[in-house]
Structure 1
Amino acid sequence: MDWLQVVILGLIQGLTEFLPVSSSAHLILVPVLTDWEDQGLAFDVALHLGSLSAVILYFRQDLLKMMVAWTRSVTHRELNADGKLAWAVILGTIPVGLAGLVFKDAIETHLRSPIILAVSLIVFGVLLGWADWRQRGTRSEHQMTWKDVAWIGFAQALALIPGTSRSGITMTAALLVGMSREGAARFSFLLSIPVIALAGMLEVWGLIRAPEAISWSAMFWGTVISGVSAYACIHYFLAFIKRIGMQPFVIYRVVLGALLLVVFL
């Protein structure tokens, strides 16, 4: 793996993991559109570790409050707003975890074509644009109902379809139940923590079962690039959507999807 590949893949993972544009679509397209060899499981683990580190670092104060409140909800049965948010993240992760266990092989076998990516980019991009246009909610991530959590959690399971975008579909669902853009984005980012961690553990398991040669320098820099770009992405995205909204990402998805259809049909 050369250094250009390390930098490009690190930036793609870091930026697209949290933007509503589908990281899986971009990572699948890289080997399709280039002559690069597959980067391997070990490097994928490094990229996910970078993204995971970034979101944990960015929300470190929120996560600490949530952990303390969640512990009190278990030990003292006292449920405040932070404890409820912690439970929301846990419960909202269950649908995608179960769907991943059941449908993982089928998805990897049948749904990773450029055409599927293109259709998903367009369809779910338009849905995001419609949700952002029609709904001007004001509720934050601390004001969700359990029904909202279930709705967003089941929507997140659709992200297993390549091209959907985990962040995109969860933000769409959150906007549709009346959350603000910032509240929808913040909850989506918090939901990403267990999902990225679970995906990383699956990749580690695959690496243990089929060990491969590891380039430690490539893994280190891939982790750093992914982490720094992901942290910057979270920070600027939250500021960006309060002023402009989701429409630029919708346009990008539709244009990218249309180009893929032109190239691969």
Structure 2
Amino acid sequence: MNKLHTEERKIFVTLFEAIIFGIVQGITEFLPISSTAHIVITQLIFGYTFPGLSFEIFLHLASVLAVMIYFWRDLLNVITGFFKYIAKRNREDRTQFFFGIYILIATAITGVLGKLLTDVTADSIKTPPFIAGALVVTGLSLIFIERFHRVGNKTEDTMTFWDSIIVGLGQTLAVIPGISRSGATLVVALLAGLNRDTAVRYSFLLAIPVILGSTVLALDDFSMTMVDYIGPFNLFISFIVTFVFSLIGIIWLINFLKQSKLIYFAIYCFILAILVYTFIDPSTVMDVG
């Protein structure tokens, strides 16, 4: 009887953890508060980690599906305009063609430099003190761009190759837990002179190739062990939860940006940094893949 109760509890906890990870991944992926930091922190709090990177890859696919559905019109316009300009060289397609090029440039920079940075820093960047420090940097960046930087007026029509290079370099820093990808791209894009609407659109569309690219590179880590360990039903639920909360995160961020309230995300980063530094024991750090 005790054995049965223990096994039932194990199944329940696994489902519960799958749901929690789905909520954390979904709501933080597109908010400027670092989803990577939250995933690592959640694992440290649970004192638990899923085998390899399979589960994280699975959740990221749900997030990228959410952004593709939300921005499907923008994505379709960029893709069709890109190939139509190659085929016909119509002037009306030129903007979307170069916007697609700018997305590819930033993605390539992030892919190459991000891999190098990850290889060099390895697990040293996953410690609670380092994550806390990176969260403070994210918060300070959000405050600076909100309070002290004058928003530019560049649009897709007036963007340059240099702008995409700058954003790609900024996005590379997001491999550090605590540095938000969406926050880094928004801050750097605004610093480069893009207006808010273009910066937001560029940031979200950049997430698609970056997440898909990192998923493809990590496919060799995917195994049936993850399915056996968590269970098909739990995986399905975590995917749906991640997808739903990713949509919520996207809508939430866009609404906050319209009201110029990045300062609230900065305050959250500061509070979280204090909690991480104060209450999470560095000795509990484990390999999260």
> TM-score if structure 1 supplies the norm length?
0.91
* Corresponding position of 1:46: 58
* Corresponding position of 1:216: 232
* Corresponding position of 2:151: 136
Distance 1:154 1:119, change over 3 A: same
Q: Unpaired segments of 5 or more residues in structure 1?
A: none
Distance 1:236 1:141, change over 3 A: farther
Cα shift at 1:77: 4.0
Q: Distance in 1 between matches of 2:145 and 2:74?
A: 27
* Corresponding position of 1:95: 109
Q: Which amino acid aligns with 2:268?
A: Y
Q: Which amino acid aligns with 2:125?
A: L
* Corresponding position of 1:162: 177
Q: Which amino acid aligns with 1:173?
A: V
* Range 46-55 or range 105-114, more displaced: 105-114
* Corresponding position of 1:250: 266
Task: Check conservation: 1:43, 1:218, Cα contact below 8 A.
Answer: no
Q: Distance in 1 between matches of 2:103 and 2:163?
A: 12
* Corresponding position of 2:42: 30
Distance 1:213 1:121, change over 3 A: closer
Q: Which amino acid aligns with 1:24?
A: T
* Range 113-122 or range 97-106, more displaced: 97-106
* Corresponding position of 1:117: 131
Q: Distance in 2 between matches of 1:205 and 1:44?
A: 13
Q: Is it true that 1:179 corresponds to 2:183 in the alignment? A: no
Cα shift at 1:142: 4.8
CA RMSD of aligned residues (A): 1.9
Q: Is it true that 1:15 corresponds to 2:27 in the alignment? A: yes
* Range 196-205 or range 15-24, more displaced: 196-205
Task: Check conservation: 2:33, 2:138, Cα contact below 8 A.
Answer: no
* Range 146-155 or range 231-240, more displaced: 231-240
Task: Check conservation: 2:95, 2:156, Cα contact below 8 A.
Answer: no
SS, match of residue 218 in structure 2: helix
Asked which structure has the greater CA Rg, the reply is 2
Q: Unpaired segments of 5 or more residues in structure 2?
A: 1-12, 283-289
* Corresponding position of 1:4: 16
* Corresponding position of 1:236: 252
Q: Is it true that 1:153 corresponds to 2:165 in the alignment? A: no
State the 4+ residue runs in structure 1 displaced beyond 4 angstroms: none
Cα shift at 1:39: 5.9
* Range 27-36 or range 16-25, more displaced: 27-36
Distance 1:147 1:139, change over 3 A: same
Summarize deviations over 1:95-141 as a string: whole Å, max 9, x none. 11001332333333321111110001001320221022222234345
SS, match of residue 254 in structure 1: helix
SS, match of residue 225 in structure 2: coil
Summarize deviations over 1:175-229 as a string: whole Å, max 9, x none. 1122233332221111000111012123322125xx5241211221111111111
Q: Which amino acid aligns with 1:187?
A: Y
The one of 100, 105, 112 equivalent to 2:119 is 105
Summarize deviations over 1:215-249 as a string: whole Å, max 9, x none. 21122111111111111221232122111331100
Q: Distance in 1 between matches of 2:237 and 2:45?
A: 23
Cα shift at 1:10: 0.5
Cα shift at 1:48: 0.9
Summarize deviations over 1:30-57 as a string: whole Å, max 9, x none. 1211233436533222211110100110
* Identical amino acids, percent of aligned pairs: 31
Q: Which amino acid aligns with 2:25?
A: Q
Q: Distance in 1 between matches of 2:240 and 2:130?
A: 31
